[in-house]
Structure 1
Amino acid sequence: MKILIVDDDPAIRKFLNSILTQDGYTIVSADDGNKVPELLEAHPDITTVITDIIMPEQEGIETIRTIRAQWPNMKIIAISGGGKIGPANYLQLAHAIGADATLKKPFGRTELLAALQSL
């Protein structure tokens, strides 16, 4: 299975990449939601997107909307560590607009793999 990771934090991308490649997933990554359409077009075998919610260029909420509009069957996991209104509010919004699962940062390997298996 091929997964697209979208997070502006290189340490988070590295963490996710490490866990997922150990479990046999193929990873494509981006540091910005603006790159998602181009990457999904270039890699039609991507089945799941893991996206951060709070990013400087294009935030995850807009990224989820874009994915749902163009790839309605794509599986999406939204992740967030917070922000001004707290992670729970952002993750509830992400779920309401189409995320299949949500994870509050920090999370570990077990939670990540469980979220993927639940899709």
Structure 2
Amino acid sequence: MRGITILVVEDELAIRKLISRYMIREGYEVIEAEDGEVAMDLWQNHEEIDLIILDVMLPKLNGWQVCQKIKEESDVPILLLTACSEEEDRVMGFDLGADQYMAKPFSNKELLARIKNMLKRIKKQSLEDQLEVAGLTINTKARQVFYDSKDLEFSKREYDLLLFFINHQDKVFSRQQILDLVWGKDYEGGERTVDTHVKCLRKKCPSLKEKLRTMRGYGYKLEV
């Protein structure tokens, strides 16, 4: 399992290196950026970034701009660092989606405490987003399904159908009920659509062959 990766964005070399050394000493992996443009480039090319420590006063793109751009496409936690401590600056940061705010100069111990608190919330949310059923591990936030450590490929409708069965374990549904609840009542296709998609689920995931049962002459149920 990979470790936690933190992106440290700070134009002052001494401060950036101090933060990085402190984070590395605590066991975190660190990526550094000296300006806003480098930060955006690193963000777009490193999917494993778990948290960002972001200075506000940066060359090229300032911290406000970087925070706004990243938060438009991700909920990665961001801690803003700034020499400004005015209330309007803090409010602006939170309005742009920042999760924490620290004014310079700051204590390394306080910074670490806030980082750990933010990471705890990430871990809790990650556990809430994960289901383990019938030999499958499902990340509902990322819409990923794993079986025996393999990332399974599902179409949108196959995934929706799988999640439907998982959320209604041991309950029997007719083909028409499944069509109405998964495809929608406006769907004009026939009931055989359900059979085809169930067949695909069983083929792609061996653990469903026995557990996703056909109720002869009626429909299906996931028996866990």
The two structures share one fold, judged by TM-score above 0.5: yes
How big is each residue's C-alpha offset from its partner over 1:50-104, in whole Å with a ceiling of 9 and x where there is no partner? 1101123211000100110122x2110000013xxx5543233112211000111
Show structure 1 runs of 5+ residues with no match.
Answer: none
Report the aligned-residue RMSD. 1.4
Aligned to 2:88: 89
Cross-structure match for 2:40: 37
Q: Which amino acid aligns with 1:90?
A: D
DSSP-derived class of the 2:72 partner:
helix
Deviations 1:15-35 (A, max 9, x none): 100110000011001011112
Please give the alpha-carbon distance, in whole angstroms, between the structure 2 residues aligned to 1:88 and 1:105: 14
1:7 aligns with 2:6: no
CA contact (8 A) 2:67 2:96 kept: yes
TM-score normalised to the size of structure 2?
0.49
CA distance in 1, matches of 2:24, 2:112: 12
2:103 matched to which residue of 1? 104
- The amino acid of 1:17's aligned partner reads S
Secondary structure in 2 matching 1:70: coil
Deviation at 1:118, TM superposition (A): 2.1
1:114 aligns with 2:113: yes
Task: Considering Cα pairs closer than 8 Å and 6+ residues apart, tell me whether 1 or 2 has the greater RCO.
Answer: 1
Identify the range of structure 1 (99-108 vs 88-97) with the bigger mean alpha-carbon deviation. Answer: 88-97
Equivalences, count: 115
Asked whether 1:67 is paired with 2:54, we answer no
CA contact 1:81–1:87 (8 Å) conserved in 2: no
> Which amino acid is the alignment partner of residue 42 of structure 1?
N
Partners of 2:26 and 2:64 in 1: CA distance? 28
Distance in 2 (CA, whole Å) between partners of 1:81 and 1:88 is: 12
Alpha-carbon distance change, 96 to 8 in structure 1, aligned in 2, over 3 angstroms: same
1-side partners of 2:28 and 2:86: how far apart? 27
- Does 2:22 align with 1:23? no
Equivalent position amino acid for 1:94 in 2: G
Question: What's 1:77 paired with?
Answer: 79
Aligned equivalents of 1:100, 1:36: Cα separation in 2: 18
Query: Which deviates more from structure 2 when the two are superposed, residues 92-101 or residues 21-30?
Result: 92-101
Aligned mates of 1:110, 1:66 — CA distance in 2: 29
